[in-house]
Structure 1
Amino acid sequence: MNDLMCFDKIIVEKPTVTKHGFHTRYILEKDGKRVSCELRNKYEDSIEGDNAQRFANLTCGISAINYGLYTREIVFEFDLGPQEVRFFDEMLKKMSIEIFVSRFHQDPLFIKPEYAVAEPDVTLANASCKAKLIAGSGRDLSGFDTDPDKIVVLSSGGKESLLCYGLLKEAGMDVYPVYINESGGHWRTAITAYRSFKQHDIRTRRIWTNADRLWAFIVRNSPLVETNIRGIKSITDPLHFFSFAYFIFSSLPLMEQEKIGNVCVGNEYIEPTRILDGRNRINDVDFFPGIYDQSQEYDRYMTRWFDDAGYGIRQWAPIRSITGYQVQKTLAKNYPALFDLQVSCHHAHKGSDRIMPCGTCQKCMRILAFCLANHLDYRKIGYGQHNVDWLKANIHKLALAGDEELEHTFHHLSKHGFPVKGRYHSHIEKLHFDPHSSDTANIPADVRHKIYPLLLREATGAVRMNAGRHWEPVDIDSLSE
């Protein structure tokens, strides 16, 4: 196995905080030579406050968590409290393993062949964090008051965040949709929803960041990555596997000012098959078989950490009990005005009167397949008959999170003339509960009794996984208590 070490040091300068944002520099040092890239966040409202510098320090440092495998030292030129040091230390260790297994072994599409990792090389010694974290010593946050009825929804214009917004508003929560305006093409997927929200909901906020440019800068200065291979242009950072925390921490100034006690991420149900089959361990390495910072385990970790560090914020996902198939149906049928704003696409582009989906990426294939299977009007979100024809010819390329969700979708598509054979799985259209992916405690007790009945309107019931890994009916009222 080739050495993955790219840098001697990654230095993060102490951020400069202004009335409407903050900025810092990431400095990459190798053999005495340095290159740097500025990282910036801009806010619509003033972020001035007692903790502005602390929030800037945390936010600016988080991207470095992705690079524990590639550098000998990570140097923060600012102070961290004891609990903040614990967060960075634990996440550096955790994400080094996740990145090593996912990016270099399981899916090394954009990794140069000489750096791809064979199974015998997946060992704890190879996957462990190599970087030493160096930071100044400070105190933890003394805490700030929060309102348990207020919630930030990280918003992107996709089906999950739109459904979360509609669901939580109907449940009576005080919802703040926060749109992260990345400087690259990702903003095209969010701009349709953002503009509508900005007109109709005064709580809507936008945070501009060039974090995606920072990630691309580090890729350009790494020898590990092939950025254009087999005609496929990379749309994500192949060295980077930890991004949600950046967006959440970017929201902290708003959360403190508005006393917001919850942050919502739009994660749907993923069957824990790989965990239950033991496919989350290779040799002596335990890992999460998916994206860790979109998992229930990570939500729990962050809720505990926010409490220990004095923030008093709960992080959770209101739609973790339903599949992507069901997310799409619920959004379209229960919140049609929000459905009309949806853009779920890796390569969205500007059309004559709206942002249009490309119609051929995996996201588009999933969305169009779900719409057809549920008899939803796909034309409202930018698709046409030519997209249906293309999908029919390429349906064998469709990938979904679970095999049974794919079989269930194929079952319904076969009725529309698609050349597929599927199998009906009734649980796909139900609420799911299991301790690994969708525990009832995922939603705080004071609001779950409002959330579950709303999700049940387009579901055919609720099920719980028993000890034999079979789905059995469960009374939703007992889960809401």
Structure 2
Amino acid sequence: MTNKTPSPAPRDRETADPATVLRVFDRLEVGPVTLAPRRLVAPYRIHIGGKTDVTELIYVYETPVFDPQNPECRNLADMIAAQAALNYGLFCSQIRFIGTYDATDRAFLRDMAENTAREIFVKKFLEPNPFLTGEAMALPAVRQKKYLNAKLKFLPTESEGRFPPWRLWETDKNRHCVLSSGGKDSLLSFGLINELEREVHPLFVNESGRHWFTALNAYRHFRENIPRTGRVWVNSDRLFSWMLRRMPFIRKDFQSVRHDEYPIRLWTVAVFLFGVLPILRERKIGRLIIGDEHDTSRRTAHQGISHYDGLYDQSIWFDNTMSRYFQRKGWAVSQFSLLRPLSELLIEKILAGRYPDLQTLQISCHAAHKDGDRIRPCGKCEKCRRIVGMLTAVGKDPRRCGYTDIQIAACLKALAEKGTYAQTASEAAELLNMLAEKGRIPSTSSPTGESLPAAEILRIRFDPVISPINAIPVDLREPLYRIYGEYAQGAVRRAGQRWIEFDPLTDPEMVAPYPFELSPGHGATAQPPDTLQNTAYLWGELCWPDAEERFDEVDTVLLPVGAMEQHGPHLPLDTDAYDAEYLARCVAEACSDPKPMVLPLIPYGVSYHHDDFRGTVSIDNDTLSRLVYDIGMSVARNGFRKLVIINGHGGNSPALNHAAQKINRDARIFVCVDSGETSDVDIDRLVETPNDVHAGEIETSTALAVRPHLVRMDRIQREIPEFSVRYLNFSSKRGISWYAHTEKISASGIMGDPTKATAAKGEQMWTIMIAHLTAFVEEIKHMTLDEIHQRRY
């Protein structure tokens, strides 16, 4: 007699298509959202075989956070509503998002839907899952390029075209939101930030189901004692259960199955995280702290299929992805965990030792129950035996957070017999070793047959990939790492396969920039050149031995190219040259280490069309193209693999694109030309003037922001070109590229309206340009050429 499900025959396993079994919905539709100041309601419609079923995803806020008429609020609400749907890309032929989604939103949703589909396929169908029934219990491990079955469609609402203008949220980096749950990570994160005397906002997301029990003790305490505590109510648990009841491969009695994991979903944190963003926007909070430790960042493989072990939305890659998304959107929020260098055992030790009153609020059990006015843990699940084991191992009393003597004894007995499956092998081994040393379990009772200590578990662990020193902002590092050092057995950094002891407080990385801070003073807004900080990224300022050392660290280089030409009677001749070099320096300054190198400026460009105005110095297309080609080939010989040409003058584009093609052909490196493409769509929304292409509203505004002393305000005049053929308009989306001598179009050399220029507009424009180009460089900087050319999981 056996309980094992029979596997399909070998031939069936080889030919079976898992998508056939799993694609059970014709279409899932999300939206349109109904919005009120304190409420968001999003219909979720399932279409199956000509029948439609509908439910609603609802978020409710304690204070007004939305203006229903504001396009920015509607866009944010649409993105909040979309997150739960990303769990169902395996099961639908199509998912339709009805609302206002810009290109950044659509790219994010597609990437996360694909990522989640792969994670769910591996973790919920290839690995054992007690909630499954039928054919889905024995799917073959088919390696595919993509696992997303659904085609994502984005359908406009009546407000299509009313995309909000790109703007940087006004946030304060001293204001910290802790995404709070009542678990050890969020409790410790709150305690640490509060001790550092930073402004802290504990925000709880109240799930509609029993999972809220895990947060209830903490929420009640915080609500009564901690200012700025907030709560969002969401019925996501009901939505997830509603979807499960419509999946034929899920057991009908799934709600009665006792298990520590969800039946299907793996994109859960974002459902809560996006839900608190309206509060961050309203309160001007600049930092979003989630509570994830060292071992939640994992890359692994199952039968040749790479994945993140079901923990992507608890990993550092998730933090970085979200922070980059926020950058692109202009939402000046950075997301990170304070706890990346710590094991969960060390987290429990610090929490119980330093903040014992907070530790009494800890409930990590998803089967918790009410006992009078208090929530108590079940004392039977894997999480409970882990918590009891860790508290006992570090010499703390589990009764303080609700465990009874009987539960403690049962948890320790189960721990000795079964171990823990959520911890890494090294952490589980160290936990058992510590308990055995205290005489709380037999020393020979490891489920693996041995109990070997892993001393690094109780050390601060810095890994260059999953827990680098600069994974948190600079101002938090020294005080936090000092606190950790009081409880840890030293600090180690990974070198290959080994851990090496070192002192993080004396390490140069302690002052390395944090790459995701888009608030003023952190490289995201215009600054005078003399305020830029470290300039070791300037190619021309290095001695050759220093260059040799730096070039081994970085493979990305920026080449600014400008022009020396008339800019009307009011702007300096070097406007395009100055702007290109300034942008390149600001982007490098804002990037994380290792920063991209910045080559010396090429100040001359193809400007023959301005030759009728004195002061213009022009070179030939062939000359510029050849010069850039020679520079690019030399850069490649120096070992660089990514060249970003930053073009400050539109007339240079044909020559630069020609040179970029030749460099790519001959050196086989990545080469691109940015003539404003990364930011023009957002800058255009700030501009009132049509055909504003030269010395007008845009260029005068950016000059006023950084070089007001060189702008001759007494000479400003308006000269907006008008053409008899609409296809010749420079600002038309249907306009063709054409060429003419400027003097035939404008007697002053101006094409636009500089009278509408302001320094405030210029600061916004610089913010947009620097933020977008920094986000782009940050991404390619960390990629191999193979990853750039084709997306890799």
Instruction: Tell me the TM-score normalised to structure 2 length.
Output: 0.58
Q: Which has the higher strand share?
A: 1
C-alpha distance in 2, partners of 1:243/1:368?
26
Q: Distance in 2 between matches of 1:432 and 1:145?
A: 34
Change in CA separation of 1:401 and 1:99 when aligned onto 2, cut-off 3 Å:
same
| Residue 62 of structure 2, aligned match among 41, 44, 60 | 44
Q: Which residue of 1 aligns with 2:351?
A: 331
| Conservation of the 8 A alpha-carbon contact between 1:271 and 1:402 | no
Aligned match for 1:433, one of 458, 462, 466:
462
Query: How much does 1:112 deviate?
Result: 1.8
Measure how far apart 1:230 and its partner are: 12
Please, which runs of 5 or more residues in structure 2 have no aligned partner?
Answer: 1-15, 512-793
Q: 1:172 aligns with which of 172, 197, 202?
A: 197
SS of 1:432's equivalent in the other structure is: strand
Matched, 1:364 2:393: no
The partner residue of 1:340 within 360, 363, 372 is 360
Counterpart residue type for residue 45 of structure 2 = I
Superposition pairs of residues 56-67 of structure 1, within 5 angstroms: 56-67=77-88
- Cα distance in 2 for residues equivalent to 1:265 and 1:471: 26
Q: Which residue of 1 aligns with 2:52?
A: 34
Q: Given the alignment of the two structures, is residue 75 of structure 1 paired with residue 96 of structure 2, yes or no?
A: yes
The 1-side partners of 2:372 and 2:94 are apart by 49
Matched, 1:104 2:144: no
Tell me the residue number matched to 1:204.
Answer: 229
Change (3 A) 1:387 1:196: same
Shift of 1:82: 1.1
User: 2:240 and 2:148 mapped to 1: Cα distance?
Assistant: 21
Separation in 1, partners of 2:133, 2:399: 40
Equivalent-residue separation in structure 2 for 1:271 and 1:250 (angstroms): 22
Q: Which string of whole-angstrom CA distances, capped at 9 and with x for unpartnered residues, describes residues 165-184 of structure 1?
A: 00111123211101110010
The 5 A counterparts of 1:196-345 are 196-226=221-251, 228=253, 232-233=257-258, 237-270=262-295, 275=299, 279-280=300-301, 282-283=303-304, 285-345=305-365
Deviation at 1:290, TM superposition (A): 3.6
CA change 1:232–1:71 in 2 (3 A) is: same
In the TM superposition, residue 107 of structure 1 has moved relative to its aligned partner by 3.5
Using the TM superposition, name which of 54-63 and 138-147 deviates more: 138-147
Moved more, 181-190 or 412-421: 412-421
Q: Distance in 1 between matches of 2:252 and 2:486?
A: 45
Count matched residues: 474
Query: Counterpart in 1 of 2:116?
Result: 95
In the alignment, the residues of structure 2 paired with residue 401 and residue 170 of structure 1 have an alpha-carbon distance, to the nearest angstrom, of 29
Structure 1 window deviating more from structure 2 (336-345 vs 128-137): it is 128-137
Partner letter of residue 439 of structure 1?
P
1:416 counterpart = 2:439: yes
Deviation at 1:63, TM superposition (A): 0.9
Task: Rate the CA distance shift 1:118–1:220 in 2: closer, same or farther, 3 A.
Answer: closer
Correspondence 1:24 to 2:42: yes
Q: Letter of the aligned partner of 1:292 in structure 2? A: Y
Contact kept, 8 Å, 2:23 with 2:149, in 1: the verdict is no
**Equivalent residue in structure 2 for 1:450, among 479, 483, 498:** 479
Q: Which stretch of the first structure deviates more once superposed, 214-223 or 454-463?
A: 454-463
How much has 1:446 moved relative to structure 2?
A: 3.0
- Which residue, out of 26, 33, 44, partners 1:15? 33
Amino acid of the residue matched to residue 53 of structure 2? V
Q: Secondary structure at the match of 1:59?
A: helix
SS in 1 for 2:487: coil
Q: Is the 8 A contact 1:175 1:203 kept in 2?
A: yes
Following TM superposition, by how much is the alpha carbon of 1:17 offset from its aligned partner in structure 2, in angstroms? 1.0
| Structure-2 residue corresponding to 1:382 | 402
Q: Structure 1: which 5+ residue stretches go unaligned?
A: none
What are the Cα deviations for residues 300-358 of structure 1, in whole angstroms up to 9, with x where unaligned? 11111110111121110001111111111100110111011111112111114521111
Q: Is contact 2:126–2:138 with CA below 8 Å preserved after alignment?
A: yes
CA distance 1:217–1:304, shift in 2 (3 Å): same
Task: Return the offset for 1:88.
Answer: 0.7
Distance 1:344 1:120, change over 3 A: closer
Q: Distance in 2 between matches of 1:110 and 1:122?
A: 24
Q: Which amino acid aligns with 1:243?
A: T
Query: SS state of the match for residue 270, structure 1?
Result: helix
Deviation at 1:443, TM superposition (A): 1.1
Q: Secondary structure at the match of 2:47?
A: strand
Give the partner amino acid of 1:168: I
Other-structure match for 1:151: 176
Q: Could you say what secondary structure the match of 1:80 adopts?
A: coil
- Per the normalisation by structure 1, the TM-score is 0.94
In structure 1, distance between residues paired with 2:435 and 2:58: 45
From the superposition, tell whether residues 40 and 402 of structure 1 become closer, same or farther in structure 2 (CA, over 3 Å).
Answer: same
Q: What residue is the counterpart of 1:403 in the other structure?
A: 425
Q: CA deviation at 1:113?
A: 4.2
Judging changes above 3 Å, is the alpha-carbon distance between structure 1 residues 235 and 427 closer, same or farther for their aligned structure 2 residues?
closer
The equivalent of 2:105 in structure 1 is 84
Per mean C-alpha deviation after superposition, the further-off stretch among 344-353 and 37-46 is 344-353
Structure 1 pair 371/27, CA: closer, same or farther in 2 (3 Å)?
Answer: same
Give the secondary-structure state (helix, strand or coil) at the position aligned to 2:396. Answer: coil
- Aligned-pair CA distance for 1:385: 1.6
How far, CA to CA, are the matches of 1:364 and 1:119 in structure 2?
34
Change (3 A) 1:118 1:308: same
SS across alignment from 2:187: helix
Aligned partners of 1:130 and 1:67: how far apart in 2? 8
Letter of the 1:41 counterpart: Y
Displacement of 1:116 in angstroms is 3.1
Q: SS at the partner of 1:186?
A: helix
Higher RCO (C-alpha under 8 Å, 6+ residues apart): 1
390-399 or 325-334, larger mean C-alpha shift? 390-399
The sequence identity of aligned pairs, in percent, is: 31
Q: Once the two structures are superposed, what CA deviation does each residue of 1:86-118 show, in whole Å capped at 9, x if it has no partner? A: 111111111111111111112333222411354
The answer as to 2:510 corresponding to 1:480 is yes
Deviates more, 1:5-14 or 1:420-429: 420-429
SS at match of 1:121: coil
Instruction: Say which is worse superposed, 292-301 or 232-241, in terms of deviation.
Output: 232-241
Q: Is the 8 A contact 1:92 1:129 kept in 2?
A: no
Note the C-alpha offset of 1:295.
0.6
Deviation at 1:207, TM superposition (A): 0.5
Q: Aligned pair 1:116/2:131, yes or no?
A: no
Letter in structure 2 aligned against 1:332: A
Moved more, 332-341 or 348-357: 348-357
Residue 231 of structure 1 and its aligned partner are, at CA, apart by 6.7
